[in-house]
Amino acid sequence: MAESASQETPPPGFTGMISDWSSDQTTFKGAGWGKPMMWLFILSDIFIFGVFLLGYMSARLATPDPWPDAAEVFALTMFGVQVPLLLIAIMTFILISSSGTMALAVKYGYERNRKICGRLILATATLGAIFVGMQVFEWTILIMDGVRPWANPWGASQFGATFFLITGFHGTHVTIGVIALLYMYRKVMRGDLDDGRPGAITGRKGRWEMVEILGLYWHFVDLVWVFIFAFFYLW
């Protein structure tokens, strides 16, 4: 039968997509429920960040006051020299690196290499935590410079408002990710994913797929940072 043949080797490209969507049972073959759910959540979250950034652009265009110069505001004085965007460059580097360790963790997860996978997850969590720590440092500097949500020394008050709101919202995402990563580290190291031990809260059995799902979230949070970086620091 054509049906059974198509299940073994799915037809490529567009034809394959059509046959998946017109099939019964599952639309995303072999993907289970967790991964589609995370993708869908990401789609919804994209709209949240999209609306945030559009709101930011709109506020920036609408305000009659001058917008503070990013190169000046975000400069760090090192050894008496003002280096623009130094801190943010390091932060971005760290967060992007954490995506690398996460991708490796997923790879070793699928190879059932518990130890290395766990360590890589821990490394990702550490990098994420460092990122959040540096963000706290950055906020502290700005607050000491006199930036407030309702005013700042250089111009439009919307600068502080959008900056704290959007980076804060992103930072919350990273923090939640770090907590989830630490929890996953414990699960991986204890072998929950191998023996399908039920989770403490939801009671769902441990599966190696969970590492990849968490990875999707983590990469998404990193990608959002790229846009925030571009819109806040380079514009």
Return the number of the residue (99 or 167) whose C-beta is nearest other proteins.
167
Indicate the residue among 93 and 235 with the shorter CB distance to other proteins: 235
Residue type, 106: V
Tell me how crowded residue 132 is: count the other CB atoms within 10 A of its CB.
18
Cα-flanking dihedrals φ and ψ of residue 83, to 5°? Answer: -105, 115
Q: Please state the closest distance from residue 200 (CB atom) to other proteins, in A.
A: 12
Tokens of 211: 């590492």
Tell me how far, at minimum, the Cβ of 48 lies from other proteins, in Å: 4
Considering the complex, state which of residue 52 and residue 131 has its C-beta at the smaller distance from other proteins. 52
DSSP 203: -
User: How far is residue 103's CA from residue 169's CA, in Å, rounded to a whole number?
Assistant: 24
Q: Tell me how far, at minimum, the Cβ of 82 lies from other proteins, in Å.
A: 28
If the CB atoms of residues 36 and 100 are measured against other proteins, the closer one turns out to be 36
Tell me whether residue 36 or residue 84 sits nearer to other proteins (CB atom).
Answer: 36
Smallest distance from other proteins to CB 128, Å: 22
Number of residues that this document lists for the chain:
235
Distance CA 201, CA 190 (A): 16
Q: Which C-beta is closer to other proteins: that of 9 or that of 202?
A: 202
User: Shortest Cβ distance from residue 235 to other proteins (Å)?
Assistant: 18
Instruction: Give least dist CB 71 to other proteins, A.
Output: 22
Region class of 67: left (phi > 0), else alpha (psi between -120 and 50), else beta: beta
Residue type, 104: L
- Tell which residue, 70, 75, 88, has the closest CA to residue 131: 88
- The token pair that represents 159 in the structure block: 């600068």
Binding site for other proteins (CB under 8 A): 3-4, 7, 21-29, 31-33, 36-37, 40-41, 43-45, 47-48, 50-52, 55, 58-59, 62-65, 149-150, 156-158, 160-162, 165, 201-205
| Contact between residue 222 and residue 98 where contact means Cβ atoms under 8 Å apart | yes
